[in-house]
Amino acid sequence: MLFPKSNAHRDIVDCSGVWGFRPDPEGMGFEAGWQAGFDPTHECAVPGSWNEQLQEYELMNYVGGAWYQREVHIPCHFSGKQVLLRIGSADFQSKLWVNGRLIAENDLLCLPYDGALDGHIAPGEKARIVIWVSNEQQYQSITPAVAIDDYIREQRIRDEQFPATRPDFFPYGGIQRPVLLCAIPQSHIADVSLRTGIDGDAGLLTVTAQVECCAGAQLRIAVSNGLAQTVPVVGGFAVAEFRIEGCRFWSLKDPHLYDVSLALELDGGTVDSYQLHAGVREIEVRGRRLYLNGEAVFLRGFGKHEDFPVHGRGLNLPLMVKDFGLMQWMGANSFRTSHYPYAEEILDYADRKGVLVISELASVNLDFRLADEETLLNHRRTLERQIARDKNHPSVVMWSVANEPGYLGEQEYRGKASHSYWKNLCDYTRELDPSRPVTVANVGRISTDDPSFHYVDVVSINRYYGWYDMPAQLDRAALRLQRELDDIAAEHDKPILVLEFGADTLAGAHSTTDQLFTEEYQAKFLEAYCDVIEKHPNAVGTHVWNFADFRTAQNHRRVILNLKGVFTRTREPKLAAFRLRDRWSVPFSYSDDV
């Protein structure tokens, strides 16, 4: 469904607040009929992860199912409308009941889902919402599960993390984004797709709306520069093309957004309306460069996480505002939604602030010993849903369809099946969205002959020489990085992004010599990488790992947090933040024009 908004024809009841909560480690709730209501043992705030919120009730490391419930008044004026409940995200899997009826379910991480309540509620009365959420991972998911026994079987007992999870970030559980009760007209605008382009000074904007309505409807589409068209709805679709003369293109310096207003007209009256914004811009890969509106752009920024004390991965608007302020202060122009789709509120904010976003799918460490047809199907399903959700954001300039596949099961990853997997996925991404390039973040272990390099538009690498390898030896590390960039470029003359490089750093640790974990070493490490990358003819960006320290599952390599942030978890700057700020205050310019 379209991102919920309230206006003259649509309304929203925000169900954020403190919900009744009950963990269900044995899965007894289904048989006991908790779908219709249950006796809560705890309370948990929504949006938010349950882990740190309920740490004192032994739920910090809880992996399993849990039930949420609350009652909500259905306003009288919702009568006659289509009423939907939309969950921004409830991770990793979830099911939704209203008054005991199953309304919808979802198994895709960090993506919204919704269900229609029609017939199950009475406007003017209360309805009981029950949501079951589980943070248990699946083996065929695109971030595959791992169990304690797997570490033993695979003879990697020292890799064991608690709670068991493959990725290097905490497996938070809960309803982590808003739950919204929405009323929309029965005849309504169901979806809107925007496509933009550039023709000289003019901006081209194509608006395609999907409409659910009886015959004879028309759609009036107005753009904030005064252009407007009324187009008929044919076969459930209405299309309008605009040419905006003297267009203000959406750019880093001037992220201008045009308001696009749609009004569905039937029998002489307006029955529904929807407003969204359009940033007119073009992103393109040509030769070794990435172009924004025809100008070569160099990305400077970060891999991030949605992570903060107590909130966990829960949407945290003050933190969002703060983080964008810090990125602006640093001179960063971009970030990657590592390692899952971030909240839509964050993408909206990036649109307004003129920050470029690499939108990543929730695929971490895909293991080709496990990957099969079902995995590919899950990957394609995720892609469809993520592109459908994020397609209209001008800030989203690239799809990263996976992070570090082949980290495990390296031999299988290098095989034929992997080639056809990445070809299939990259082709499908371009089929669904021909307007944005596609990439995969490659892991150091796979190095230069990664099967995915053949099919992506932009080659992306994550590297840790000088940290995991060659610790405290930055000269060796820089040479190794340089050689690898040259080798990749010799094979694949495409733009290259270095999407991760970083060193764990304990704020307050100092040394006069190169010493791991000190602020000086992190600063020197990041500068050494930037020196090499910025000079490389194929490089189109540096994304430091990570923006801020973040919580991980427990293992001997992490002192509660991954400490590679240039800011602490509570956003105090480390020395590297100042060094990068100095570096990034000088605009980047390419020495050649390819």
234 has which bridge partners?
Answer: 237
500 is catalytic: yes
**Which of 168, 212, 390, 520 forms a contact with ligand BDP (CB under 6 A)?**
168
- β-pair partners for 278: 258
Tell whether residue 403 is a contact of ligand BDP (CB under 6 A).
yes
- In 391-517, alpha helices (H): 410-413, 416-432, 474-491
> Annotated catalytic residue: which of 344, 500, 519, 520?
500
- Which residue, 9 or 543, is less far from ligand BDP as judged by CB? 543
C-beta closer to ligand BDP: residue 333 or 562: 562
With respect to ligand BDP, which residue has the nearer C-beta, 423 or 558? 558
Give the one residue of 316, 386, 442, 562 binding ligand BDP; rule: CB under 6 A.
Answer: 562
- Site for ligand BDP, residues 277 to 296, rule: CB under 6 A: none
- Write down the catalytic residue from 404, 484, 519, 520: 404
For 579-593, letters b (16+ CB in 10 Å) and e give bbbebbeeebeeeee
User: Which residues touch 542 (CB under 8 Å, ≥6 apart)?
Assistant: 299, 300, 301, 498, 501, 529, 530, 533, 534
C-beta of 167: minimal distance to ligand BDP in Å? 6
Examine residue 306 and tell whether it contacts ligand BDP (CB under 6 A).
no
CB of 5 to ligand BDP, least distance (A): 34
Contact 535, 486 (CB under 8 A): no
**Please, which of residues 484-543 interact with ligand BDP by CB under 6 A?**
500
Shortest CB 534 distance to ligand BDP, Å: 22
First-to-final CA distance of the chain: 42
Q: Is 519 a catalytic residue?
A: no
Minimal CB distance residue for ligand BDP? 168
| Amino acid in the structure at residue 311 | H
Cβ neighbours of residue 507 closer than 8 Å, sequence gap 6 or more:
519, 568, 572, 574
Nearer to ligand BDP, 34 or 422 (CB): 422
CB 340 within 8 A of CB 110: yes
If we measure between CA atoms, which residue out of 202, 220, 209, 310 comes closest to residue 261? 220
- The smaller minimum CB distance to ligand BDP, of residues 53 and 165, is found at 165
Least spacing, CB of residue 408 vs ligand BDP, in Å: 12
| Least separation in angstroms between CB 440 and ligand BDP | 12
Q: Rule CB under 6 A: say whether 344 interacts with ligand BDP.
A: no
Q: Residue 316 or 338: which CB sits closer to ligand BDP?
A: 338
Q: Closest separation between CB of residue 498 and ligand BDP, Å?
A: 12
∠ Cα 576 580 581 (to 5°): 115
The CA dihedral of 334, 338, 340, 341, to the nearest 10 degrees, is -10
**Residues 432-491 contacting ligand BDP, CB under 6 A:** 443, 462
Instruction: Give which of 358, 376, 253 is closest to 304, Cα–Cα.
Output: 358
Closest CA to 566 of 589, 582, 588, 586: 582
Chain residues that interact with ligand BDP, rule: CB under 6 A: 167-168, 339, 403-404, 443, 462, 500, 545, 562, 564
Positions annotated as catalytic residues are 404, 500
